[in-house]
Amino acid sequence: MNDTVHTPYTVGSASGGTVAQRNRVLRNTYWLLALSMVPTVLGAWVGVATGIGRMMSPGIGLVVFLVGAFGFMFAIEKNKNSAAGVPILLAFTFFMGVMLSRLVGAVLGLQSGAQLIMMAFAGTGAIFLGMASLSSIIKRDLTSMGKWLFIGAILLLVAGLANFFIQSSALMITLSVLAIGIFSAFILYDLKRVQDGLETNYITATLGVYLSIYNVFQSLLAIFGLTSSSD
């Protein structure tokens, strides 16, 4: 199933900070986001190399993922203003890479697995660049999008949990397509919040954008894997 998670957000926060401060938060967000990809890739490699994802049953893997992901997110938010915030975030991204290794390993087992992974990576990069560009162009306030995106993410999580028991490939592809749309919009929403001064903590901003990128990549990889395996 798609393990869909997204960090909580605050609706209607007051705008804050000068233009220079907002640009600094945005710049730090981009730098930390780029850095977070290193432990993610490392975690995925360790997971594939050791087969840790395959060692756990799907049920246990789901529990470990949900408990670990929400536990890490809670710890990150509690330490976002301390020196421990960045190391905890990077540890979280390593954990997410390990959790992704089961899907990565399955796709690598396909005939053109490496190519499919590169396609998912390129697609995710294109979506991120597109949403980042839009966030700097759009002038209107996107705050109202937040609650609807959050509701959409919750519904995706519930539907994904249901499909864990149903095991429908068609539903999986449908949910993956919806996830790409919702989390692409989340990238736009989160980056716009930073640019508007509604989010002034770069660790929180990085966490939100990272989770959206993770979900987009996972969804693309799931679609490519499922459609290729059915050929």
Per-residue pLDDT of the chain (231 residues; tens, 9 = 90+): 456 655 544 433 445 568 888 899 999 999 999 999 999 999 999 999 998 877 877 888 889 999 999 999 999 999 999 999 999 999 999 999 999 999 999 999 898 889 999 999 999 999 999 999 999 998 888 888 989 999 999 999 999 889 888 888 899 999 999 999 999 999 999 999 999 999 999 999 999 999 999 999 999 999 999 888 655
Cβ neighbourhood burial of 226 (10 Å; 0-12, 13-18, 19+) = middle
Buried b (16+ CB within 10 A) or exposed e, 108-140: eebeebeebbeebeebbeebbeebbebbeeeee
pLDDT of residue 97: 96
Within its chain, how far is the Cα of 122 from the centroid?
A: 15
In angstroms, rounded to a whole number, what is the distance separating the alpha carbons of residues 123 and 219? 11
CB 33 within 8 A of CB 206: yes
